[in-house]
Structure 1
Amino acid sequence: MSERKLALVTGASSGIGREIAQLAAADGYDLIVAADETLVDSAAGLAANGVDVESVEADLSTAAGVERLLAAASGRPIDVLVANAGHGLGRGFLDQDVAEWRHVIDTNITGTLLLLQPVLKQMAARGQGKVLITGSIAGHLAGSFQAVYNGSKAFVDSFAAAIGNELKDSGVTITCLKPGPTDTNFFARAGMLDTKVGQSEKDDPADVAKTGWDAMKDGEHVVVHGLKNKAQVLASGVLSEAQTAEMHRKQAEPGSGQS
């Protein structure tokens, strides 16, 4: 068995998750990387860092998918958990299929908690461990035309802060990374390429990943990536939900983009 520490990273096939996995590998962690799509190319690149990499293709919106992922650890303690898997969904709520919005909730909330609880129990029993949860500045905004997604991220942001407080004397730290719009597959998968936010300039996922990874290593409770995003979070604290909903509408309403 490897003497290296073990990091488990979800949503690792692309974007922020893949970049975090690269940082973990560069820091010498063996990896379990998970996503709901193939990880063959990503896993090969990570292994080039001289660490062991196991890829798991699993639907983390389901209990069976989470159990399959946890089984991949084969009893090894998980030293770092990066709960990054998430699913977005654009368009008006009345235009969304029930299966679509349920998948957002099941991935972003239920699946995340099903993964966090057993790993955190193990970490707390050992008195050590670090967790990085990908929340979003979307959790601070009433998300017109992204209502279920933003609501799910409001839950994640709040939950991360709460369990971080519960575990403050345990030796386990919880860090919530709150990115803004990032140059990933998110907007294509959410059906939002015709929106203003979908066509806007976005943050580099490698930069966002480093912000989160460094904050996690330092044991910070929360980190917002980028000055523009920090300003938006501050503004949301003084605006009403009706005002942030109208602001969000201008960014996310279908057809609001330039093309």
Structure 2
Amino acid sequence: MKTKSIATRQTALITGASSGIGYELAKLFARDDHDLVLVSRMAPMLERIARELKRDCGVHVTIIAKDLFRPEAAQELYDEIRAAGITVDYLVNDAGQGAYGRFAETALDQELSIIQLNVTTLVVLTKLFLRDMLARDSGRILQLASMVSKTPSPYQAVYAGTKAFVYNFTQSVIDELKGTNVTMTALRPGATDTDFFNKAGAEDMWAVQHDKLGPADAVARDGYEALMAGRPAIVSGLQNRIMDAVSNVIPDQAVARGMRKLDQPARKTRH
């Protein structure tokens, strides 16, 4: 049973909301009676999700089809939300993409676009909405980092670099937010069962071929609970937490060799 009136509901803005972790996070917010602003390039998928969440949870869902690879898209998104009179209480920067392969052989244009989406768009959205949150002295931000935020990742060099930025950027801003009622959380999932690997051209990766992918709903739950608790970071999954602890005490190049096994193309054995 809903206990909040429309006037008192808070609103979560989620980028990359059409599938995977973003979609699972949208369901969690809706089940807790939060209104939503869902952003993705995939308008038909957003429309389906909006119908589903309105029907199942009774919340208001605004969808905005926006290509966040475009340099001007983040400012446009902010302006559209302000013009609609929507106050964003929770910002979830989930949108992200990778490229798979040896760095010397991958496409430069694609990797520059990935840096734009994973880093620049995230920074712009964070700055714009954070200023509003600080003016109200209220708000929470969830940044999608990664297990590779703190480890070398052969065959995903640019992606790993962007996620290292996200993690360190987040932890730096968190310190600046001390003494306020605004919090920021970095979610660090491992390889997760989403469309990420198809988009990155990484279907042949060892972890994918051997079904070593975590469930997106569990990752979303970990991130959601950490966000609501105001935690600075969360590594999703027990195995990932063990790997993270080990990687903190061994040399980076030893970690890189281990990651190379997980990231390199695998011999396909499934038929």
Q: What TM-score, normalized by structure 2, do the two folds share?
A: 0.91
**1:151 counterpart letter in structure 2:** G
Gap regions ≥5 residues in structure 1: none
Aligned to 1:234: 245
Residues in 1 aligned to 2:234 and 2:118: alpha-carbon distance in whole angstroms: 19
**Deviation beyond 6 Å, 4+ runs, structure 1:** none
Aligned to 2:61: 53
**Residues 193, 174 of structure 1: alpha-carbon distance in 2 compared, 3 angstrom cutoff:** same
Aligned to 1:92: 102
Task: Indicate yes or no: 2:167 matched with 1:157.
Answer: yes
Aligned to 2:48: 41
1:67 to 75, 81, 86: 75
Task: Indicate yes or no: 2:250 matched with 1:245.
Answer: no
Residues in 1 aligned to 2:202 and 2:36: alpha-carbon distance in whole angstroms: 32
Task: Indicate yes or no: 2:33 matched with 1:23.
Answer: no
Gap regions ≥5 residues in structure 2: none
**1:136 counterpart letter in structure 2:** S
Residues in 1 aligned to 2:268 and 2:261: alpha-carbon distance in whole angstroms: 9
Contact 2:71 2:116 in 1 (8 A): no
2:16 to 8, 11, 24: 11
Contact 1:175 1:221 in 2 (8 A): yes
Task: Indicate yes or no: 2:227 matched with 1:209.
Answer: no
Residues in 2 aligned to 1:184 and 1:240: alpha-carbon distance in whole angstroms: 30
Deviations 1:130-166 (A, max 9, x none): 1111111111211110000011111111111111111
Residues in 2 aligned to 1:103 and 1:239: alpha-carbon distance in whole angstroms: 33
**Residues 218, 100 of structure 1: alpha-carbon distance in 2 compared, 3 angstrom cutoff:** same
Work out the percentage of aligned pairs sharing the same amino acid: 34
Cα deviation for residue 66 of structure 1 reads 1.2
Aligned to 2:178: 168
Residues in 1 aligned to 2:269 and 2:158: alpha-carbon distance in whole angstroms: 25
**Residues 9, 242 of structure 1: alpha-carbon distance in 2 compared, 3 angstrom cutoff:** same
Contact 1:197 1:257 in 2 (8 A): no
Cα deviation for residue 253 of structure 1 reads 1.8
Residues in 1 aligned to 2:99 and 2:135: alpha-carbon distance in whole angstroms: 37
Task: Tell me the matched-pair count.
Answer: 259
Deviations 1:33-85 (A, max 9, x none): 01122222122112221111111111213332212322332232211111111
**Residues 258, 90 of structure 1: alpha-carbon distance in 2 compared, 3 angstrom cutoff:** farther
Aligned to 2:134: 124
